[in-house]
Amino acid sequence: MDAVVKKIIMEVKKGDQQAFAELVDLYKDKVYQISYRMLGNVHEAQDVAQEAFLRAYTNLDSYDMNRKFSTWLFRIATNLSIDRIRKKKPDFHLDDPVGGTEDLNYYSQIAADEELPEDKVVQYEMQEWIQNEISELPPKYRSAIILKYLEDLSLKEIGEILNLPVATVKTRIHRGREALRKRLRNS
């Protein structure tokens, strides 16, 4: 795997722009998943994930070939996602109560345009709910939890991606787990 990746990178560096498409295909799902779980929105996720690949392309000369390419790429994606979160204005949530009403939230204002089978609805709502809970975490815990539990990365790798010592990564995972536990325990 690593040899293949190195070979592609060498080709790109030599000027074969098309070879970069192979690199995108190899990592697009993981990069997209990181951005999506960080931002909780498909449009922003696509935007940030594509931007991550563009940055990787334009900065390829600064990538150290002795290190893992995915670590470098995930770092770009994580940083861009965090930047995006910081720039976001505090916007309204679908869960927020509609002004002047007691128990209407914005979900109830969306007209269902198609009937989904019951089990699909339950599954969809479950996924929505988990993503919402992840999105409520402070970004620094969110990134650690996503890299650990959704990308299945080692603490060492997470440390390299987030540019943190392993001990700090552990603390963030612990705090992230605690915060989620408090929110999820009554579910």
Partner 1 sequence: MACEKTKTDLLHKYLDEEMTLLEKKQFEQHLMGCEDCEKHLRELRKTIAIVQSTSHVEAPPDFTAGVMSRLPQQSKSNKWKT
Give the interface with partner 1 as residue ranges (CB under 8 A): 14-15, 17-18, 20-21, 24-25, 28-29, 31-33, 36-37, 42, 46, 49-50, 53-54, 57-58, 126-127, 130-131, 134, 145, 149-150, 170, 174, 177-178, 180-181, 184-185, 187
CA–CA distance, 63 with 150 (Å, rounded to integer):
25
Specify the residue, 97 or 129, whose C-beta has the smaller distance to partner 1: 129
Minimum distance, C-beta of residue 80 to partner 1, in the bound complex (Å):
14
Specify the residue, 54 or 121, whose C-beta has the smaller distance to partner 1: 54
| Torsion, Cα of 64, 70, 71, 74 (10° steps) | 120
Q: Are 104 and 62 in contact (CB under 8 A)?
A: no
CA–CA distance, 42 with 48 (Å, rounded to integer):
10
Q: Can you give the C-alpha Rg of the chain in angstroms?
A: 19
Question: Is residue 115 classed as helix, strand or coil in its secondary structure?
Answer: coil
> Cβ of 30: how many Cβ atoms within 10 Å?
17
Minimum distance, C-beta of residue 79 to partner 1, in the bound complex (Å):
18
Minimum distance, C-beta of residue 10 to partner 1, in the bound complex (Å):
11
Specify the residue, 17 or 62, whose C-beta has the smaller distance to partner 1: 17
